[in-house]
Structure formats: structure tokens, C-alpha cells
Amino acid sequence: MTELFAFLLTGLTVGFVYALVGMGFTVIYNASGIINFAQGEFVMAGGMIMVFLLAGGVPYLPAYLLAIGLTALLGVLLWKLTDLSRDSSQESLIILTLGYAIFLRGAAEVVFDKELHTLPPLLGEGHLTILGATLSYQALLVMAASVLIVAGLWFFFRRTRTGKAMIAVSLDPDAARLMGISLKKIWILSFSLAAAIASVGGILLTPITSTNYEVGIMLGLKGFAAAITGGLSNPFGAVAGGLILGIMEALVAGYLSSEYKDAVAFVIMLLILFFRPGGLFSHLGVQRV
């Protein structure tokens, strides 16, 4: 029982990070129809920038805000580049954003280094014991911050004019533009928002799993699997998808085989794509938030 509970907690912690990455995918996808394969690199960028700011003597809080801000700026930069692209067929956009991912990985290699880095836990080394299973303060922080972000996004999409405008654009860009919504602003916002969310995940996860220049590949792909599992059109589906993938992964690693844990997310994603391409919750008929 204790073992199972420990696996569940590990799964939840990682699952929340997949959820943050997955939400970023859906935010950009709904606003612009683009799948940004560099989403995982935002996670990497957040963690790495934070590591090097701290190493450069910047205090914790300013470093934290700066890391998020810089990553968000990176998001805007990528949007600018995408905007330059003349051909906008889906294949070209997929390859373009794959190019961003490779470029950012290469840039991190040059600007930072190839070493593995970690961060001191924000709330110290302590941990809670729940039903005999330990949960570090940092893991608790990952969960709490993720829940806060999800709640914040929910409020943003439901209650604010800008958030509603984003949903309007995702439903019908032409009609939204006729209503006076600036598509350009929405796109910029979606890219920076997705980057900022992912960078928070990267910063909070680094004390637990460490980070390096290529950590974004797997995180990005699993975040995408989370988004597909939950349904691409709904950011909150991605949260459920991320948690499911994280927990399944932890259970497989714990009970079956730790070698094959990385395959779990992709097997689930393929099953969803084959049998329920609209995502797990498509039967609810809820299309987009």
C-alpha cells in the first residue's frame, strides 16, 4: 500500500509537469493552429536560465521572475519567426517548429554548457510523510504551483476579456477579427503564455530531476502526448492527460519495468490516436474551453 502510494505521488509530480507542457501546446494550438514542437525547449530554457542566473549571483526571486520573463520573450521571438514564414502548410510548420527545438537546444549548448545542473529546493530539503510515503517539499511545490496555474488559466479563459478573446479566436478567427480582436496580439500572447507556463515547470522540476540542454526533448514529447490524450482542443484536458500519463508511467516503472517507462506515454498516445482521436474526453462533447 505504501509502495503504491509512493508511486502515485511520484507519478502526480511528474504528471503535473507534463500537464504544464501539454497546456502550453493547446494554448498555442487553439490560438494559431500551430503545434509548437519547441514547447519542451521552453521547459529546458526556464530551468537553465534560472541555474545560470543563480550561478551569476542574482538573488532567488529576481532570478525566478527573470527566467520566466526571458522564456516568455523567447516565445514571442519564435512567433515573430513563424510570422515570417511564407508557406504555412501544416507540414512546413511542423518542420519549422522542429527547427526551433533543434536551434534552441544548440543555443543552450553554446550559451550555457552540456553539463547536468540542479537547483537548491526552494523550501529546503524537508519532506512530508503521507501514509508512509515521502513527498518532498519541492514535489509539493510543483503540485501546488501547477494547480494554481491551472486555476489561474481557468479564470483567465472564463472571466477576463482577453481570455475570452483567445477562445473566440480559437473558435472562429475570421469572426473574431470582425469583432475587433487583434489576431496578432492573441498569437503573441499565446506564444508567451505557453512559454511562461512551461518555464515555471522547468524551474520547479529542476531540483527534483536536474536539467541539461537536451532535457526538453522527452518533456516536450510527453507533454504533447498529454495534450493528445486529453484532447488538443482543451487545455484542461491536457492537465488530466498529463496526470494520467505521469501516474501510468510511475506505476509501470515501479511494478513492471523501469527500462520501458519512457514508452508508456507514447503507447497510451497511440492507443488514443487510433481509437479516440478527439482525446479521452471527446464523448463529453466539450469542444474547446
Is residue 96 involved in binding another protein (CB under 8 A)?
yes
Is residue 107 involved in binding another protein (CB under 8 A)?
yes
Cβ partners under 8 Å of residue 232, min gap 6 = 25, 26, 29, 279
CA 154/CA 156 separation, integer angstroms? 5
Q: Which of 86, 159, 161, 283 binds another protein (CB under 8 A)?
A: 86
Kindly identify the residues of this chain, within the stretch 143-172, that bind another protein according to CB under 8 A: none
Q: Which of 102, 167, 183, 286 binds another protein (CB under 8 A)?
A: 102
If one counts every other C-beta atom within 10 angstroms of the C-beta of residue 9, the result is: 21
Closest approach of Cβ 219 to another protein, in Å? 13
Judged by CB under 8 A, how many residues of this single chain contact another protein?
A: 43
Is residue 103 involved in binding another protein (CB under 8 A)?
yes
- Tell me the window of 6-14, 15-23, 84-92, 200-208 that interacts with another protein (CB under 8 A): 84-92
- 3-state SS string over 54-113? HHCCCCHHHHHHHHHHHHHHHHHHHHHHHHHCCCCCHHHHHHHHHHHHHHHHHHHHHHCC
Q: Which of 256, 260, 284, 287 binds another protein (CB under 8 A)?
A: 260
Burial class (CB in 10 A: 0-12, 13-18, 19+), 256: exposed
Residues in the site for another protein, rule: CB under 8 A? 29, 35, 81, 84-87, 89-92, 94-96, 98-107, 109-110, 217, 221, 224-225, 228, 232, 259-260, 262-263, 266-267, 269-270, 273-274, 277
